[in-house]
Structure 1
Amino acid sequence: MPEVELQHSAIWMAGVYLMLLMQFLENKVAIDLTRTEFVEAQEALVQMRHWFVRFPTILQACESTIEMLRGQYAHSVGCYSEAAFHFLEASKLTQSKSTQAMSQIYAAVSFICISDAESSAKAVDLIGPVLGVIDSFVGVREKTCALYTYGFLLMRQQNLQEARVRLASGLQTTHTYLGNLQLVSQYLTVLGNLALALHDTGQAREILRSALTLSKKLYDIPTQNWVLSNLTALYQQSGEKGSEMENLEYQRRKIEDLQQKLATARSSVHHNELIEKVKLQVQQLNEHDMKRAIAGPSKSIDLDIPESVGLLTPQPMPSSARLMDQDIGRLRKRRV
């Protein structure tokens, strides 16, 4: 049922429920991507898109978030050009300076991963302005992510000492104030790689082992593979043939695991529609419909939304079933 059929009080109450639902789904997508559960992330993201298309006015603030998550999904499955597109679209759809900064930071990382000169130049153009105003942000999330991205870029440009300083500063701030374990593990991985490039094998070994332990706890297979490739190089430098062969075998199994998950995700009917370089298309209400949506009245309708949010339904739901529709019921059965 379109938004225009809702009366004013129903719009407000539905908005409360829908925003909570979208926050839940947003967190689920993020957790599933961290755990390399790409298909699960697809399903949650498709649900977010479904609700947004159905209630575009009520959920207008979620459009940027959905584009951001499309970018994160695309980046996670190795579609870096598509990821950068969606991150940049997300930055255009919000007035929040913080969200704009994070979108630009994420887009810069995707451009860095493309690994050509043109993309690296785009990454510099994106991260530079963010670094220039980094102290103006209230929180530390923007600063830690910007320092990570800039350090990563400096490493790719072979400016190893400067990269080490930036990354060490960002890691300390992340560990002290943010508590983002995935970001900590990625900081450690890059710092381990830097230590190896600077022939500091003792520090590289310690850092990379910590990164591997943390990425295992997070079930973060891509980061595990990144760490394992660095450990293989370390064992080669140190002449530890036995450890090198053992590490290569473990890395081979992890690569096979990741490739299987990627193949399953890419064969899904939702994959292409999530990564394609196209914004979500929704039917915008005209001025007349907006007035109707605000002024009502409306019929008794079933929106598949619990009656506890104030919408009229043919048969009231029992109190024990409140705030539980079929979508939420299915989601809560899954381990998050």
Structure 2
Amino acid sequence: MLRALRDELGSRLGAAAANAWDRTVAGGVADLRRMPRTEVARDPGGTLYRYDPLPGVAPSGPAVVLVPPLGAPDFAYDLRRDCSLVEHLLDEGRPVYLVDYGRIAFGHRRLGIEHWVDDVVPRTVRRVAGLTDGPVYLVGWSLGGLFCLLALAAAEEAGEPLPVRAVAAIGSPVDVTAVPLVAPLRPLAEVAGGRAVSALYRAVGSWPAPLVSTVFQLTTVDKMVTRPLAILSRLDDRDTLAQIEAVDHMMASMHGYPGRVFGQLFHLFLRSNDLAGGSLQLAGREVSLSSVKVPVLAVGGRDDVIAPLRAVRRAVPLLTGAPEVRFATAPGGHLGVLTGRRARTTTWPALDAFLSEH
């Protein structure tokens, strides 16, 4: 037994030494190569990409269209090799497409949520459906999931349904009062009113990327404090170190928000929490979640402080027009529920099963 323990300790020390060398000298332990993809179309709303099939895996069936949120880079879906939702979907033999909005600049300051709901998502869906000769699956994370649901509802209400088989919204909060970080700010927002905030975002033009990154990191401040200890204690665990490194890289690549979107999030979500009532006022008309007519999967992270379970679950009773609404939970925070190490055995299989059934 002592020999076995000695051998295990030696193996762990050797792995720790190799990992420490790679982290500090060799450039890192995470394989951050992106899955190969081909540009399909480019317009002012963004660039549409098709991911190349994996060698030996012939794609078949309906295409999956990935819709990113604002703020996060598009490679959130392709975080690192062996922990990439894109890679997983390709390995399942699914055709995978993604729309990339690019970086938000001052010139985008007048774009509102309706830009993605009425223009970007519908155009992307119809383009991919035309390329693949059939309805698609929509998958959105965080605000991207809300874009998907609202786009489907708006298209139905306009009498122009989108060619979508089913939609999955992962970590997409509907009820802001259930978000611990936001709830205490709502009374302050009411007292302050909207004029000062409106003047601020109109003057600044956008919510800058460094601030978006900082806010995202503050949601995991406890992990930031214990991070050095976590790295030292898991120095022999290459997979954990690779995940930490990949998340750090993503945090350094965050995008900004257009000023108008920031204003809408403040007024419609923070102050009035409209979507929790089932609808949102966009471009002079009301868009109701009850107008969604396709099966919906909503996934919440058990440790998510940006989109807690109650905030995500609120969508279930509001989607009254959907033939099926499935709610699932998975371990992890806001990013972890999408592409954390445990998502490989929780969120992804749940998504696979849902798509296969529809």
Q: TM-score range by the shorter chain?
A: under 0.3
TM-score, structure 2 normalization:
0.23
**Structure 1 or 2: more strand by fraction:** 2
TM-score, structure 1 normalization:
0.24
- Return the index of the structure with the highest Cα Rg: 1
